[in-house]
A and B are shown apart, each in its own frame.
Chain A
């Protein structure tokens, strides 16, 4: 598990370099990747499933990205995308195909299910935070306007 956490950090760091994040953004983004995976592991220990852990991990990644964006005054997208790297279902996708190639449909179905659940969890997590962020921003704006009046 410790190996996974360290490699999640380094893997996210690699992607941060690949996407050429600014020098000051590389470390916060990579830490987001590590924390995302820690959240995933913690939740998976409680609920043995794919969807709920990946959903909570992507919720975390999106919240962290929004906060980091406010603190660093930079677009949130870069922190989010690097943070989600450990959640991308590379392994389930590969095993789905390799099982399908062996005509082992039972396995292919299982892994394919996993892949879809991972992607769905990520998508729902991002969308939720995206929506709430919009609402919070608008509420804050309205409060500020009221103070001025």
Chain B
């Protein structure tokens, strides 16, 4: 009986040449790398390029990569005729982290120059993936950005201080509320609505220019990264990815705009 099953399996394998276990594991790691790059704000062209190079360094005959913002598909042809293919969803909504991106870049360069073992690669990938951005740095960054940009767009020093204070609120929402509210448009709408109402209430008490404070805080939420990547993607020929990202960022912007507009309307 066991013999029969084994022969059956062998027949199946001959019909559909699939990669051996090592290749599949390798491809899985490549997918990890690609997914991490997309989530942390890379253009898809770069993802495709990196995976193709790493595949070639591993010894694949050809690598076919297809990446859009929410999916990553990759097929690896090995010289012995086996083929393995994998699909990975990449919609986790992680925060952009360029430090991770740079380290992945360095890792892939190193790998392409001199391929190292599977276990070491796995170890290095895990190390990069688990290193989270220091929360305090992100908080300080938001405060600094919102405060100075409120002044940049013509606010007084007091406006800058107020924007900086409300930036802490936005940061808190991004850290604690965003994981619960996975819908990005809704999150942006609620986040800007709450911030807008708070600023409007503060405007009744303090001598601040509400518009400048709000502009400073809007800048934190504006999808500048998505927009820039959308333009780049579209121009280099990844029209599908570019248009997906463009539509996405316009929807986010609409969410932000509606949130603040509603807050202004209520607080008047």
Chain A residues engaging chain B, CB cutoff 8 angstroms: 3-4, 7-8, 10-11, 13-22, 25, 74-75, 77-78, 80-81, 84-86, 88, 90-91, 93-95, 97-98, 101, 119, 122-123, 126-127, 130-131, 134
Contact = CB atoms under 8 A, between A and B. Distances in A.
Interface pairs A-B: 8 shortest CB-CB: A14-B145, A17-B141, A14-B144, A18-B141, A7-B152, A20-B133, A10-B148, A127-B235
Interface of A is mostly: helix
Contacts, number: 147
B218 A90 contact: yes
B224 A13 contact: no
Interface stretch (B5-13, B75-83, B97-105, B177-185): B97-105
Contacts of B215: 90-91, 94
The CB with the most chain A CB atoms within 10 A, among B98, B143, B144, B220, is that of B98
Contacts of A19: 41, 96-98, 141, 225
Interface string B32-53: 0000000001110010000000
B240 interface: no
Contacts of B218: 90, 93-94
B71 interface: no
A15 to B, nearest CB: 5
A84 B143 contact: no
A98 B105 contact: no
Contact of A91 (B140, B153, B232): B153
Contacts of B219: 11, 85, 88, 90
A59 to B, nearest CB: 13
A130 B261 contact: no
B211 interface: yes
Contact of B222 (A17, A21, A80, A88): A88
A80 B228 contact: yes
A127 B148 contact: no
B152 A17 contact: no
